[in-house]
Chain A
Amino acid sequence: MNTGLHSHPLPSAGKTASATRQLSREICENFLVSEARLLDEARFDEWLALFLPDARYWVPSEPNQQSPHDTVSLMYDDRRLLETRVRRLSSPRIYSQEPRSRTSRIVTNVTIEEQSPAFCVVRSKFMMIEFRRDDQRVFGGTYHHHLTTARDEIRIAFKRIDLVNCDMPLDGLVVPF
């Protein structure tokens, strides 16, 4: 599947990403599992630290959406907005998280789609259960991560989340996927 930004390599990715060493499927899978754990445990600052300074985070509003610039998105954050999103999550006055959501994620079916000198494209399937107040919601879909290595750590250059129900009427989405 075309991940949109994937077909246009991130314009500034080269500035912060060093040449990626070959990442094995196992290493990528371990990374995705630990990322999901950070989110489930609401360690959002640590999660943000996984992203490169010029990263993009994208939840399209349509299946097969080609661009975040000509069509609306459930979330489309450049690094600046992603920082604001994460900072807001820790605000004591974030009323849409009063009470807080509890989430449980499963990441699986991990495949490496492409290895390039700049980054490694990893596709996976996820399910996330979100419980808040009196309601439990189930989200599922496909992740595409562009992973790279910076100072020997794996970093996210780009993350795309395609929800199977992206175009369904939904109540607010506050916790990142």
Chain B
Amino acid sequence: MSTQLSEQIKKYVQPARVHRRIYTDPEIFELELQNIFGVAWLYLGHESQIEEPGNYLCTHMGRRPVVVVRDNDRSIKVIHNQCAHRGSMVVALPQGSADEFQCCYHGWTYHLDGRLKAIPLQNGYPADFDPKNPRTAMTKVPRVRSYRGFIFASLAPDGPSLEDSLGPMKTSLDDMVDRAPDGEIEVAGGAFRHAYNGNWKIYLENLCDAAHPWFTHRSSIDAAQKQADDVFSDGSGEIAIRQMRQNGAPYSFWESQVGIWTYPNGHSYLGDYHDDSKLVAAMNDPVFREYISALETKKGKQAAAEILKVRRWNSNIYPNLSMMSQFQQLRVIQPVSVNRTIVHTYSFRLRGAPDQMFRNTISFANIVNGTGSLVLTDDLEIYNRISLGLSSEGAEWLEIGRGFETDVPEEDGGRKGKNSTSEIYIRNMFDAWVAYMSNARSHDSEGKQARALS
């Protein structure tokens, strides 16, 4: 990557505006894959998806396909999904269970941790061919770390620890887990995969945007407000309609009752959103009451109150993860090209919670993250339209300045917007973006790796 580009990039981010090329330039996207997705701790999956030795799931680190696997010693390994012989993708199913991985081309067979186990037709290789040489393995991703069941990995062999990178945002992961009466959560209920023709950053920039629902979601807000409540519902429609009406809260609500917090490395959350009157599954809902009582029985009244006091809407962990704890939602962002993004969304079951809680989780997932949702479809339209707009050179700069002069520093190293309609979380992501993009560390590590293999 040219030094010229690195220098230019700094000019593309100004205090309250950014240049359109950040979202449209294929060269910048390639540099993001190296300097951000090639370095940062990326969320890959949850331990409940690979509970037993041999369980694996396939995902991507940036554009690189990897396999996340539970090894025989129960440790978690992440290996590039690529045969050391001719480069073929070895593991073809999205998830499963295996004793070993075997390439379907010439039968090279690997241990779960990627080391070569056997090759057929061993004669005829060069004299120095050594099956124990790491270059004849499925390459290991150097750093893998799990925080309370959430599996992260980094392609950089060294750098800040996961805990240091998360900083105070660890509490959003805690919030996901602590809500389970039995103290454990599990991925359940399938997944949505939605795709749009637009840059990956647009998605994260929308998740904490409290100023868009009033406009973007107008059609579903209006339709839900007009809906008669005495029409048959098995509960699913009821939750969906409640959520759509909530999206129609006036600006005064967003400006007085909801806050936005941001932290180093691009992380942020929208908070204080839900309380007794605002929670979508309201506190006086019989299912929620039953859940609270299960939580109190397992954890004690005071601890349960502490847990439920955390009232966050979306928490975003830069650059590829977003969560919502009240309805146990998680989204993973997969950048495909500068103008194409896939988002995978998952639900969690709270172990020890009433069954109906999970049924509500599913209804909520359908309306908030569903590919055919009455809400998300208008967000996807916005992502596509931003790309269509930005493809023009008619306007060079995008505004990210709302709330710029009213940011408030926080004691724990974060910064808070004056209220939730501040674009501080976008500016905060760009602070991280500039730091990642101008850091030469990834080039060094790639260089080191290349030398080790030569």
Contacts and interface: CB of A to CB of B under 8 A. Distances in A.
Q: Do A and B bind each other?
A: yes
Interface stretch (A25-33, A64-72, A105-113): A64-72
Given A78-B237, A91-B222, A172 B191 contact: no
B241 A91 contact: no
Which interface class (under 10, 10 to 19, 20 to 34, 35 or more) fits A?
A: 35 or more
5 contacts: A76-B363, A80-B231, A83-B228, A84-B227, A169-B342
Interface string B214-240: 001011101110111101111111101
A17 interface: no
Contacts of A171: 194-197, 371, 380, 384
Given A80-B232, A170-B371, A72 B191 contact: yes
Interface of B: 188-197, 216, 218-220, 222-224, 226-229, 231-238, 240-241, 244, 342, 347, 358-359, 362-363, 365-366, 369-372, 374, 376-378, 380-382, 384-385
A96 B377 contact: yes
A80 B227 contact: yes
A53 interface: yes
A72 B192 contact: yes
Contacts of B234: 56, 78
Given A72-B347, A88-B374, A167-B191, 18 more contacts: A12-B232, A61-B192, A65-B190, A68-B362, A72-B190, A72-B366, A72-B369, A76-B363, A79-B233, A80-B237, A81-B240, A83-B227, A85-B374, A93-B222, A95-B385, A96-B378, A169-B194, A169-B342
Contact of A81 (B195, B241, B342, B365): B241
B138 to A, nearest CB: 25
Contacts of A53: 231-232
A172 B380 CA distance: 6
Given A53-B232, A78-B234, A71 B219 contact: no
B355 to A, nearest CB: 9
A43 interface: no
Given A71-B362, A84-B223, A170 B194 contact: yes
B324 to A, nearest CB: 14
A108 B220 CA distance: 33
A173 B371 contact: yes
A173 B371 CA distance: 6
Contacts of B380: 96, 171-172
Contacts of B231: 53, 79-80, 83
A81 B377 contact: no
A79 B230 CA distance: 11
Nearest to A71: B190
B372 A84 contact: no
Contacts of B363: 76
A61 B372 CA distance: 10
A95 B237 contact: no
B190 A93 contact: no
Given A72-B366, A171-B196, A95 B191 contact: no
